[in-house]
């Protein structure tokens, strides 16, 4: 996550420099070139941000699954007459029995 955030930060700084240069350029051809670079920079930043969103969502999903698994392993039967424990997590049904 840190490396991806650093890349986003560097690309944002580069975009800021391009914007500053664009304001100073008077030649139409050079402005067009810088404008194209700005568009590519915007696309790259957007792609990097989407990668960050997907990475964080995947990481959160893994952490949620790990927590659900830990809760499942730590569960004890709540009824002495019935050794089966049924719980639901995110639409998934778990059945734990004493072996």
Q: What is the pLDDT of residues 25-54, one digit of tens each?
A: 999 999 999 999 999 999 999 999 999 999
> Can you give the pLDDT at residue 97?
47
Give the tokens for residue 52. 């960050």
Q: Is this structure's pTM higher than 0.85?
A: no
Give pLDDT, residue 75. 81
What average pLDDT does the structure give for the chain? 83
Contacts of 35 (CB under 8 A, 6+ apart): 22
49, 54, 56, 57 alpha-carbon torsion, rounded to 10°: 140
What average pLDDT score do residues 53-78 get? 88
pLDDT score of 7:
96
């Amino acid at each position: 996550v840190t490396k991806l955030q650093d890349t986003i930060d560097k690309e944002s700084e580069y975009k800021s420099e391009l914007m500053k240069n664009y304001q100073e350029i008077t030649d139409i051809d050079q402005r067009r070139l810088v404008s194209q670079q700005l568009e590519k920079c915007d696309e790259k930043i957007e792609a990097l941000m989407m990668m960050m969103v997907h990475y964080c969502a995947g990481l959160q999903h893994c952490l949620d699954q790990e927590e659900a698994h830990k809760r499942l392993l730590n569960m004890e039967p709540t009824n002495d007459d019935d050794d089966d424990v049924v719980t639901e997590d995110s639409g998934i049904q778990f059945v734990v029995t004493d072996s």
